[in-house]
Copies of this chain bind each other. A is one copy, B any other.
Amino acid sequence: MTKKQRHKRRKQYSLPKAGSSPGLVYIDPNALDPIINIYKYNADHFSVEELGDLKRVAEIIADKNYTYWIQIKGFGSIEMFETLNIDFNINKLILEDITRTYQRPKLEEYDDYVFAISRMLRIDDNNDLDNVQVSYILTDNALFSFQESHQDCLDPVITRLKAGKGNIRTAGSSYIMYALMDIIVDTYFEILQDWGEELDTIEDRLFEKPDKSVMYDTQMIKRNLIGIRRVVWPERDKLNDILRSDSPLISDQTKLFVKDAYDHCIQIIDIVESLKEISVSNIDMYLSVISNRMNEIMKVLTVISSIFIPLTFIAGIYGMNFAYEDPVTGKIMPKNMPELYQENGYLYIMLFMGAIAFAQILYFWRKGWFK
């Protein structure tokens, strides 16, 4: 992980300033200009229009023969939110939740509309994990979707709308909300599949060529899993809330499909927990690999030292200069270190040393140290 990635990650803890007044829409000065597309369709018709602002929307969606999806990308217009507040009577606390993009997935039902939040995860070009908020306002025949950036990750739904296959054109606005949520849940699958494969690769490395990076990479995945779990649990709760909702805005047909997404969400939680356990297993494994390697290193040291240190000592003995000088003859008397002056003494001592080395090697071999 590069430093840049780590700094990026920190952003997820960026939170509201204590003491600020809740419910006032705050627009980040760096917010992108909004791109507003309105998709108008029914079983027979499909058209797209790009709008400059939301002013005409109330008028457009008054025609109940069609279903509308108003896709809003970028929050850089305070007027847009004021229109939502005034024309559509959306609570200011909700508008705050849309613009402060660190919310947990949730569902809130009101008399005239339903408000929901999803979090889309995406591995971007730099291999970072993007965590993007998508918000929804669902009315009887329209869905507003909100996202901060101009990313086109929701485009598959547009493709399906255009193609007009399946229920998508006829199943009302709540089905579009489902379709968007379903895409988002499916991306979780893809990311987990990537991580699952990465963990398997790490495991291969553990078996073949374990090094420090095993630990680092596993830890990174573990951290990402901690992150994704913080998203998936509330996502599951939200989908469950939709299933149990009695709002007339969410059709029974949609719920049938949401049940499917809910099942996927449970599977995702299963996979996240499994991958976490596998991460822990990998780390345990790695630690045991380190310990084993230490044992290997120490064995080499111990075998070599144990064999040669005593031998060196023996060689040292016969390198001593003990010499009893006969006071009379001035000659060196062999009785002082008699081995030195033995015929074949050198041969004998070499054999003796060889025997010692052999005995030690036998001992270590019996202990299984050469395994």
Closest B residue by C-beta to A168: B21
- How many whole Å from A262's CB to the nearest CB in chain B? 11
A311 surroundings in chain B (CB, below 8 A): 313, 316
In-complex Cβ contact of A212 among B200, B287, B292, B323 (8 A): B292
- For the complex, give the distance between the alpha carbons of A308 and B307 in Å: 11
Of A71-79, A82-90, A185-193, the one touching chain B: A185-193
> In the complex the two chains form, is B286's CB within 8 Å of A286's CB?
no
Interface size of A in residues (CB-CB distance below 8 Å): 123
Query: Which residues does chain B contribute within 8 Å of A267, judged by CB atoms?
Result: 102, 104
Whether B219 pairs with A285 at a CB distance below 8 angstroms is: yes
A300 to B54, CA, bound (A): 70
| Known contacts A300-B302, A302-B298, A341-B325; A10/B316 CB under 8 A | no
B-contact 0/1 string along A275-318, CB 8 Å cutoff: 00110010111111011111101111110111011111101111
Complex A-B: 16 CB contacts under 8 Å: A15-B190, A18-B186, A91-B256, A104-B267, A104-B270, A288-B290, A291-B294, A298-B298, A309-B312, A312-B312, A315-B319, A316-B316, A320-B321, A321-B340, A324-B341, A325-B334
A14 pairs with B193, CB closer than 8 A = yes
Contact with B along A15-46 (1 / 0, CB 8 A): 11111111110000000000000000000000
Determine if A346 and B337 form an interchain contact, defined as CB atoms under 8 angstroms apart. yes
Decide yes or no whether A130 CB sits under 8 A from chain B.
no
In the assembled complex, A112 has its CB within 8 A of some CB on chain B: no
* A-B contacts besides A104-B266, A219-B285, A297-B369, 16 pairs, CB < 8 Å: A19-B155, A19-B186, A93-B256, A215-B285, A227-B274, A288-B290, A291-B291, A298-B302, A300-B302, A300-B306, A301-B301, A305-B305, A308-B312, A315-B317, A320-B321, A336-B345
Set of chain B residues within 8 Å of A271, measured between Cβ atoms: 13, 230
* Contacting residue for A340 out of B157, B182, B323, CB 8 A: B323
Give CA–CA (A156, B287) in the complex, Å. Answer: 46
- In contact, B281 and A284 (Cβ under 8 angstroms): no
Chain B residues with Cβ below 8 Å from A18 are: 156, 183, 186-187, 189-190
A271 vs chain B, min Cβ distance (A): 7
Number of copies of this protein chain within its complex? 5
When distances are taken between beta carbons in the complex, the residues of chain B under 8 Å from A207 are 1, 216
Please, which residues of chain B bring their CB within 8 A of the CB of A56?
A: none
Contact (Cβ within 8 A) A281 B216: no
Asked if A6 lies at the interface with its beta carbon under 8 angstroms from chain B, I say yes
By a CB distance below 8 angstroms, the chain B residues around A350 are 317
The minimal Cβ–Cβ distance linking A13 to chain B, given in whole angstroms, is 4
Does the CB pair B295–A294 fall under 8 Å?
A: yes
Q: Is residue A204 within 8 Å, beta carbon to beta carbon, of the partner chain?
A: yes
Convert A125-155 into 0s and 1s, putting 1 for each residue whose CB lies closer than 8 angstroms to a CB of B.
0000000000000000000000000000001
Known: A230-B274, A267-B104, A308-B313. A93 touches B295 (CB 8 A): no
Residues on the B chain within 8 Å of A235, using CB: none
Within 74-125 of A, Cβ neighbours of B (below 8 Å) are at: 91, 93, 102-104, 106
Asked if B186 contacts A6 (CB within 8 A), the reply is no
Residue A197 interfacial (CB < 8 Å): yes
